[in-house]
Amino acid sequence: MTSLPIPIIEVESDFGENIMRFKQNLSRLRIEWMTFRMQLGDKANAATLFNSAVETAQANIANDPSAETHRHYGSLLIEGLRLCNGSDEYERMLQLAREQFSDALALSQGDCHAMAGLAYCDFELAQMQTGSARKILLSAAQDMSIASLTDGKQYRQRVYLLCYILNALAYYLPRPMARDSLELAGEYLAQIKPRLFGKARFQQISLWLELHRLMREQSTDFAAYSACAKIAENLAAGMVMGGEMNSEHNARIQTQWVVCLVHQALTCDDDEARLAFLNKAEIKARAAIHMAKTSGEHLCNLGAVLSLKNIFAGARAQFNALTELKKILPEIKRLCPDGLINYAALLSETGQVDDAMEHLLLCADRDTLYPLDLVIHAKSFANLRDHADYPAFIETQLARLGHEWAE
């Protein structure tokens, strides 16, 4: 996509003419914006339409540099990010969008849309940073998101944005502060009424599941993350029963549901109830594979359930689970070349310790491994304790965990 510098436009006309031109351009911008959205499937055509909308937005700012025109331009730039995923242009566009929201806020203090836009930009930019720079941006995004909740308009979207940020903060804060951050996210999320269908429902489920997972990692109060799992499961159950069958979207719901059920099984003290959760999770994992094209993630989820049944079930169920697990391991390996910790855990569970260790090292080398993952999968990696490379590997990961928490 071509570079988009802000042009200097000289306007030599009276105030009334400027207002009329602004209103015409604003209408034109809306039309161009809608057309651009409709053409996203054709990237070359969409880029042309996007650049045209950008020129209109820039002209609007030149004619009337108000909070509204800056906010429109910032929102348009965020839409345009879809055109440059994975390119160097992505960060530049985010920075430019951030400038527009910042200008809008300077012109209209307390502008909730501008605050939410700033929070979004800071949050996205933080994903590209490391260390203290990331934490500063995330903290700024959190503050701005909370401030933007004062307006009732689009409250739900702002709560979702805030919850994503609060969940992300849990990775980078000391444990007591992380727990506070997660509990605050839960309080805000609980204020949103359950959505009946569609993307909003899936968004809710994803947030509750993510919140639950992080609460478990941070050893938050048992009752709190148990409640999260139940809410997520209820939302998922309602959506899948009322949704389209055999669709990719529904498969994603089933996949999230598997995660929820596995978490409930792992936090359950009753053996019979735990096995019931795992049996239900296996059904959902197979349903996800049936509904959509088989992927490494879907198979890994099924494998994770089978490996847990191999640990917790009775002798006959253990034998059946292990037999099924060995059948799907070759396909998981073919579909997951980039290093998934779930796959390493499955290899360890089935006694393939050399392959499991090799895959763990691959995860670390490709930076797809968080030290806390090893804590969560501790039982799965029990077979690796006697491997020659494992002690040094664990020592490195613990040192990394200590360094990250010290920061």
Alpha helix positions (H), 39-172:
43-63, 67-80, 89-107, 112-126, 131-148, 155-172
Q: Find the mean pLDDT for residues 294-319.
A: 79
Residue 184: per-residue pLDDT: 82
Per the listing, tokens 């809710």 go with 204
The larger pLDDT score, comparing residue 194 to residue 70, is at 70
Q: What is the pTM assigned to this prediction? A: 0.54
pLDDT band at 103 (very low <50, low <70, confident <90, very high): very high
How far is the C-alpha of 214 from the C-alpha of 216, rounded, in Å? 5
**What share of the chain has pLDDT > 70, as a percent?**
69
The larger pLDDT score, comparing residue 306 to residue 250, is at 306
How far is the C-alpha of 374 from the C-alpha of 66, rounded, in Å? 51
Query: In Å, how far from its chain's centre is CA 238?
Result: 22
Q: How does pLDDT run across 231-269, given as a tens digit for each residue? A: 777 776 666 554 544 466 677 777 777 877 877 777 677
- Decide if pLDDT at 45 tops 50: yes
Q: Please name the helix (run of DSSP H) or strand (run of DSSP E) that holds residue 362, with its range, or none.
A: helix 353-365
DSSP letter at 337?
T
Least-confidence region, from 64-73, 105-114, 228-237: 228-237
Residue 27: per-residue pLDDT: 47
Single-letter amino acid, residue 357: M
CA count, 13 A, side-chain hemisphere, 295? 12
How far is the C-alpha of 296 from the C-alpha of 303, rounded, in Å? 10
Residues 6+ apart with CB under 8 A from 267: 216, 222, 225, 226, 229
Single-letter amino acid, residue 365: D
C-alpha dist (Å) from residue 134 to 2, 15, 131, 277 = 28, 44, 6, 38
- Decide if pLDDT at 225 tops 80: no
**What share of the chain has pLDDT > 90, as a percent?**
4
Q: Collapsing DSSP states into helix, strand and coil, what is residue 306?
A: helix
The larger pLDDT score, comparing residue 378 to residue 78, is at 78
Q: How does pLDDT run across 324-369, given as a tens digit for each residue? A: 888 887 887 777 655 567 777 777 776 778 888 888 887 777 666 6
CB–CB of 168/138 below 8 Å? yes
What DSSP letter does each residue of 65-95 carry, written as one string?
A: --HHHHHHHHHHHHHHGGGSTTSTHHHHHHH
Per the listing, tokens 């527009």 go with 100
